[in-house]
Amino acid sequence: MPHPQSVAFYTLGCKLNFSETSAIGRQFEERGFAKVAFEAGADLYVINTCSVTDHADRKCRKVVQQALKHNPLAYVAIVGCYAQLKPAEIANIPGVSAVLGAAEKFQLVEILADFKRPETGQPAHVYASPIAAATDFVPAHSFGDRTRTFLKVQDGCDYSCSFCTIPLARGGSRSGSVQSVLERVAKLAATGVQEVVLTGVNLGDFGLQGPARERRETFTDLVLALDQHSQIPRYRISSCEPNLLTDEILTAVAASQRFMPHFHIPLQSGSDKILGLMRRRYRRDLYAGRVARIKALMPHACIGVDVIVGFPGETEADFLDTYHYLNELSISYLHVFPYSERPDTLAPTLPGRVPERVRQERVTQLRSLSEKKKRAFYAAHTGLETEVLFEDDLGPDGRMEGFTPNYIRVAVKYDPLLVGELKTLRLTELTPAGLMEAEEVGILA
């Protein structure tokens, strides 16, 4: 095909994927490509995939089909976790031209070069080294896509949770240096970025560097350095394992004017039995202790929780154990997932498979609990005066939305001057839609 002039992207999965897609996009723009909307019929489509659930294949196929509807002659490249785990499977999806693994995805422009599609009837070109080859830390950040910037500071994972394929898809834990992160945020600050979300696969494990992945620094070092030596007004920690969320980190965040009182802490189960089967590196008492410590230091802190239900061996009693445990915790919301069998993991070999119907019933129950927790958390902040950072997109009702430091979503009448700005407001009322109304400080409630 003639050298493509336009490129479009689609991202499946996490904030880390989002930051990497943005970084790859800038590589294309630097080489003269026009980055266009997905529906614009681009010459080249890059799809960044996820492997967390068993729907990766279906989702990938659907996005490829939609891309080819917009341009049947497009060159379609697949990257990301699913591409590393199942390159041959993806190569046989009709319309896919190339598949790039974890060690190759940031070299996409150089590797593909002429973007020549495979001959008709032939599978896609595959460039996927064994995961052991993914040893370099490649920095990435999103920019221009949202008000907040997602900044990748860590990649990979050395843990061996029995349900997870991420170590197989991204390799071992590795990071850049504190100094390299400071240099990157200095450039972001110069562009007017107001909030940076630190992202990684196992963020609390930050500090393993060099070919030997030596422990040179810690996540606490990074938090303290960013708080003291950068000009970004706001930082958030995207997610941190409870066993790595140390008192030093919590104390540093509590004393900081830049780090927001918002934590997302994976739990996965409130049953010690299930945590053991999952090969998690903590038990529920440690988790409860972390939550209690956060609330003691930062009473208004928002705490989000990841939970998996329907894991092999989870009885009704185990699930109720989790439900009651979460109900008693001082948390703000839940991200709930049904257990999903992943190839090459230990969990599918465990006895006690939970039927799909039961998994979904348990998801529904915990999502209802999440809504109750969230509304109670929001309502408790009625009357609070706080800064809100507004996004550049509109909500479903045409109003603009923003976030307080402790991650309460606020909705106000659209004002273009507020986009990307910090504004002090008083939270006034929780709406039926689950948003907080707000008004300017100085106006009587």
**Residue 19 counted as domain residue:** yes
Strands (E), 279-350: 302-309, 333-338
pLDDT band at 107 (very low <50, low <70, confident <90, very high): very high
The confidence score (pLDDT) of residue 121 equals 78
- The last residue of one of the domains, among 359, 379, 399, is 379
Strands (E), 160-241: 174-175, 195-199, 208-209, 214-215, 234-237
Domain count, the chain: 3
Q: Is 90 exceeded by the pLDDT of residue 144?
A: no
Residues 152 and 195 in one domain: yes
Residues 19 and 162 in one domain: no
pTM metric for this prediction? 0.92
Residues 215 and 364 in one domain: yes
**Residue 135 counted as domain residue:** no
pLDDT band at 277 (very low <50, low <70, confident <90, very high): very high
Q: Is 50 exceeded by the pLDDT of residue 261?
A: yes
**Residue 175 counted as domain residue:** yes
Residues 316 and 191 in one domain: yes
The CATH number covering residue 94 comes to 3.40.50.12160
Q: What is the 3-state secondary structure (H, E, C) of 29-92?
A: HHCCCEECCHHHCCCEEEEEECCCCCCHHHHHHHHHHHHHHHCCCCEEEEEEHHHHHCHHHHHC
Residues pairing with 125 in the sheet: 98
Residues 172 and 204 in one domain: yes
Residues 14 and 93 in one domain: yes
| Average model confidence (pLDDT) across the chain | 93
User: Any idea what the Cα angle at residue 67 is, between residues 61 and 71, rounded to 5°?
Assistant: 140
Residues 241 and 329 in one domain: yes
State phi, psi for 86 to the nearest 5 degrees.
-135, 55
Residues 83 and 144 in one domain: no
**Residue 258 counted as domain residue:** yes
The CATH number covering residue 293 comes to 3.80.30.20
Residues 277 and 159 in one domain: yes
Q: Is 50 exceeded by the pLDDT of residue 445?
A: no
**Residue 445 counted as domain residue:** no
Task: Give the pLDDT confidence of 186-206 residue by residue, as tens digits.
Answer: 999 999 899 999 999 999 999
Helix and strand numbers (H, E) in the chain are 13, 22
C-alpha–C-alpha distance, residues 165 and 347, integer Å = 11
Residues 326 and 401 in one domain: no
> Which of 180-184, 236-240, 245-249, 420-424 is predicted least confidently?
420-424
The CATH number covering residue 399 comes to 2.40.50
**Residue 231 counted as domain residue:** yes
C-alpha–C-alpha distance, residues 22 and 350, integer Å = 39
The range of the structural domain enclosing residue 186 comes to 140-379
C-alpha–C-alpha distance, residues 66 and 129, integer Å = 28
Q: What is the mean pLDDT of residues 347-357?
A: 97
- The last residue of one of the domains, among 74, 103, 129, is 129
Residues 371 and 429 in one domain: no
- The last residue of one of the domains, among 105, 129, 153, is 129
**Residue 134 counted as domain residue:** no
Token pair 């709406």 in the structure block, residue? 431
**Residue 1 counted as domain residue:** no
Residues 222 and 365 in one domain: yes
pLDDT band at 313 (very low <50, low <70, confident <90, very high): very high
| 64 within 8 A of 32, measured Cβ to Cβ | no
